Amino acid sequence: MTAPKKASRRTRANNEGSIFPYRNGYAGYVWVTTPTGERKRKWAYGKTRDETHDKWLKLHELARKGPVVTKSETLAAYLDRWLREVVQPNLAPKTAETYEMFVRLYISPGLGNRRLDKLGVREVQTWHNKLRAACQCCAQGKDARRSPKKCCALGKCCGQTVSERTVRDAWTVLRAALNNAIREEVLTRNVAALMRVPKPRRRKVKPWSVDEARRFLESARKRHDPLYAAYVLILAVGLRRGDVLGLSWQDVELDQAELTVGWQLQRVGGKLLHRETKTEASDAVLPLVDVCVTALRERRKEQEATRAAADQWTDNGLVFTTRTGQPIEPRNFNRSFAAAIKKAAVPSIPVHATRKTCASLLVALDVHPRIAMQILRHSQIAVTMNVYSEVYSEATRKALKKLGRTLS
């Protein structure tokens, strides 16, 4: 009895279909439907028939689930397209600029040359770990562009690593981009989302006490600071920097003691934009306490006097402008705010931290809880009353009555 013959290299197993010897191994293909609706071959390669067969079966499984990409682009190419076609048309300009910055500085340099469909969890984890430890002065060639050179270009690494917040934000942008690739049916899983990334603690900035806020505002008013009314709105109404700088006189009703928040001023991509607020939830009609009304009336008189004295004036309808009527640069506002803090001899805090002082000021100014609820944009009066109960005390009330008397 003769022994059965061994299968030759070209013999195919049952149901194996289009798998065949190829170069130093085997190859196989499956007909798939691409995201554009075309029918194309998707290839699988392996050193052995079994390895190729496993890959071939996985291709069949993918083809049954839906469209399959037959040729994958690099992550850098995909991110460029994602920023151009998805992020820029649909997100706020400042948000789009931030996404672009993270892609350009942190994601593409470390992962951009990898094929999108070959990107793995281990690679993303390695990138994440390196980003946390790398000196960005070296990585971005910052010192190489300086003249004279100071550190890294001279072989003396300054160790300028990024914060944990920046590392997490870069990972968040990558995760968002890969989620979009899944929606486009380019990927079947998000390898960035499979990682565990620690959430850094936020650095808590201690807000001003009401007495410190009073001293700050009194100092600005005594010095006739042109931005005094802006400081009042930030502290007493909780407006953001962009909201204040984008505020127009047509949105202010002094007789009705209210203003409408719907526009903001931002510098994006080298351009100063006067645009609508980021979301509809940011829009609001806010009541003005007496301190705000008084400050805005003074501001209108000052602006009219400045306009009359100016040789050239640009009338753009903004409440806060330069001496020639131009919009105020957001960074210049930060500088003016920091200078005013030094002159008032109060603790230094960033502009955005002033919102936390707003509730305390409203209590000190005897603002009715219902009005405070509207200003603070609380959905329930119970939340506002909790704030009032925390801030209110007889000693605080007596000490801070000065604020209303001094600034009204």
Each residue's pLDDT tens digit, 116-143 = 988 999 999 999 999 999 999 999 999 8
Identify which has the larger pLDDT, 113 or 36. Answer: 113
Predicted confidence at residue 386, as pLDDT, reads: 66
Predicted confidence at residue 204, as pLDDT, reads: 75
Predicted confidence at residue 7, as pLDDT, reads: 41
SS (H, E, C) the chain: CCCCCCCCCCCCCCCCCCEEEECCEEEEEEEEECCCCCEEEEEEEECCHHHHHHHHHHHHHHHHHCCCCCCCCEHHHHHHHHHHHHHHHHCCHHHHHHHHHHHHHHHHHHHCCCEHHHCCHHHHHHHHHHHHHCCHHHHCCCHHHCCCCCCHHHCCCCCCCCCHHHHHHHHHHHHHHHHHHHHCCCCCCCCCCCCCCCCCCCCCCCCCCHHHHHHHHHHHHHCCCCCHHHHHHHHHCCCCHHHHHCCEHHHEECCCCEEEECEEEEEECCEEEEEECCCHHHCEEEECCHHHHHHHHHHHHHHHHHHHHCCCCCCCCECCECCCCCECCHHHHHHHHHHHHHHHCCCCCCHHHHHHHHHHHHHHCCCCHHHHHHHHCCCCHHHHHHHHHHHCCHHHHHHHHHHHHHHC
Query: Per-residue pLDDT averaged across 199-221, rounded?
Result: 85
State the architecture of 210-259+286-407 in CATH terms: Orthogonal Bundle (1.10)
- Span 168-191, pLDDT tens digits: 999 999 999 999 999 987 888 899
CATH code for the part of the protein at 75-183: 1.10.150
Domain positions in the chain are: 19-65, 75-183, 210-259+286-407
Predicted confidence at residue 407, as pLDDT, reads: 59
- Span 339-364, pLDDT tens digits: 999 999 999 999 888 877 777 777 77
- Confidence category of residue 280, pLDDT binned at 50, 70, 90: low
Query: Per-residue pLDDT averaged across 226-254, rounded?
Result: 91
Look at residue 336 and tell me whether its pLDDT is greater than 80: yes
- Confidence category of residue 395, pLDDT binned at 50, 70, 90: very low
